[in-house]
């Protein structure tokens, strides 16, 4: 991922040096279990562990691994060679009975677990912003739109409440996907435990509070990783849904809400008046990338026989990029919503711009329920006057008042065009969420 879209935590997490630290954690975990089971000398783990704590793997180590890999063309061989160079005989029992993918896949799960933990915290923050704004704008009237056209009155807070519940579902999916990759695989070259006992895998998993992979070949099944990317892709659709709404509301013709615009910020190199929704447009683009990464993750599931590495090169890109982008986009959108500039007066003006057309359903029901008309006859009266209102710009109430076929009294018309009637159940909705 390019630095422009990396949070500091994700940049560190997916660095080469940190990847090697994760590999070392797997190797040390296996050595400890093997020592306790008598498969390697009991002091081997303690000796290497002490040395690596005193002299941790750093960027210089990563550089050395890269130099060796240029010759060996094998990353784990380069890693174990560099360990031997750095720590000498203490690294003798590193990688004992394991195959490369035991280390790479299990370590990758460590990194994914940490990355998802960061993302979940970011999503929880975004949810909290939506919750707070839902409360703030709980009773702020605005027009609801369907097909982009004015529909009926609602409140601005309900938009945030809907987004909050979508984020709740995202959190459920992300947490479930995180659990799916919290597994340890230390089963040897084709998953038979020929050179390492199953108890090693079980002990490492137990020490980490994870689960041993129940059965593998040489790789962990990639449907686990596809599930992670699916959760991230769906989260991306939530980010896009929110972003597209903000972008629409910021349009000059609408202007009900807009992104924060900082002091000294410029909207255009040629048009000084411009205030563009650049942040939410940016998030919209990121959501497209998240969906694209999922396609690759799905294609990674089918591998030849017990293993090939067609997935490996792709995962070096999609896993850091997808997790990094999700974290960055969540934080960016949190900032937008937290500092959103809202125009309640403009919302009310837009709501009333169509001369009362948005109250047509209430008129329809009063004609049926109180005036006793059949549905078709009632619909014909309302639609005829509504279409005339569209064409002439006259208010719907005035047209109905002048229509000789309309049986509703002035008091009933007043009731039909009562904004508060449309919003009377908002408190009930909020109580479902303890708000």
Please identify every residue annotated as catalytic: 147, 268
Contact 287, 329 (CB under 8 A): yes
Q: Which helix (H) or strand (E) holds 146?
A: strand 141-146
DSSP 2: -
DSSP 99: -
d(CA 366, CA 378): 9
Taking the CB of residue 265, how many other CB atoms lie within 10 A of it? 11
Contact 284, 247 (CB under 8 A): yes
d(CA 75, CA 70): 9
Q: HSE of 332 in the Cβ direction (CA atoms, 13 Å)?
A: 26
Q: Which two tokens stand for residue 215?
A: 């059965």
Place of tokens 């599930």: 227
Q: Which two tokens stand for residue 250?
A: 């910021």
β-bridge mates for residue 143, sequence order: 153
Residue 282 dihedral angles phi and psi, to the nearest 5°: -60, -45
- Helices 16-36 + 100-136 axis angle, to 10: 120
Place of tokens 């659709």: 237
User: Nearest to residue 286, comparing CAs of 249, 250, 332?
Assistant: 332
């Amino acid at each position: 991922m390019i630095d422009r879209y990396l949070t500091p935590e994700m940049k560190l997490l997916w660095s080469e040096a940190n990847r090697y630290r994760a590999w070392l954690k797997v190797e040390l975990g296996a050595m400890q279990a093997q020592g306790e089971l008598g498969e390697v000398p009991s002091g081997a783990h303690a000796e290497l562990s002490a040395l690596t704590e005193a002299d941790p793997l750093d960027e210089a180590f990563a550089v050395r691994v890269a130099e060796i890999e240029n010759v060996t063309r094998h990353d784990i061989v380069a890693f174990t060679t560099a360990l031997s160079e750095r720590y000498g005989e203490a690294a003798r029992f590193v990688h004992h009975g394991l195959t490369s993918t035991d280390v790479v896949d299990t370590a990758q799960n460590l990194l994914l677990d940490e990355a998802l933990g960061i993302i979940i915290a970011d999503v929880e923050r975004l949810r909290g912003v939506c919750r707070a704004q839902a409360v703030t704008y709980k009773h702020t009237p605005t027009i609801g739109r369907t097909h982009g056209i004015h529909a009926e009155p609602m409140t601005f807070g309900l938009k945030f409440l809907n987004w909050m519940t979508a984020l709740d579902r995202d959190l459920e999916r992300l947490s479930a996907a995180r659990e799916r990759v919290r597994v340890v695989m230390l089963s040897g070259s084709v998953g038979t435990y020929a050179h390492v006992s199953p108890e090693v895998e079980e002990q490492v998993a137990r020490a980490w509070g994870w689960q041993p992979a129940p059965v593998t070949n040489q790789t962990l099944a990639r449907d686990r990783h596809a599930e992670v990317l699916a959760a991230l892709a769906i989260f991306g659709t939530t980010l896009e849904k929110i972003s597209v709404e903000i972008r629409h509301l910021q349009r000059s013709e609408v202007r009900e809400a807009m992104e924060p615009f900082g002091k000294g910020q410029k909207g255009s190199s040629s048009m000084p008046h411009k205030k563009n929704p650049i942040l939410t447009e940016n998030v919209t683009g990121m959501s497209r990338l998240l969906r694209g990464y999922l396609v690759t993750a799905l294609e990674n599931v089918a591998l030849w026989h017990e293993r090939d590495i067609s997935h490996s090169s792709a995962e070096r890109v999609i896993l850091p990029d997808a997790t990094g982008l999700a974290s960055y986009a969540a934080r960016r959108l949190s900032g937008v919503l937290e500092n959103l500039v809202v125009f309640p007066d403009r919302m009310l003006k837009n709501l009333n711009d169509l001369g009362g057309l948005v109250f047509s359903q209430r008129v329809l029901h009063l004609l049926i329920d109180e005036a006793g008309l059949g549905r078709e006859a009632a619909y014909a009266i309302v639609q005829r006057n509504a279409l005339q209102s569209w064409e002439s710009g006259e208010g719907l109430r005035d047209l109905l008042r002048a229509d000789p076929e309309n049986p509703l009294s002035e008091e009933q018309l007043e009731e039909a065009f009562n904004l508060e009637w449309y919003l009377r159940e908002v408190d009930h909705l909020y109580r479902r969420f303890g708000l």
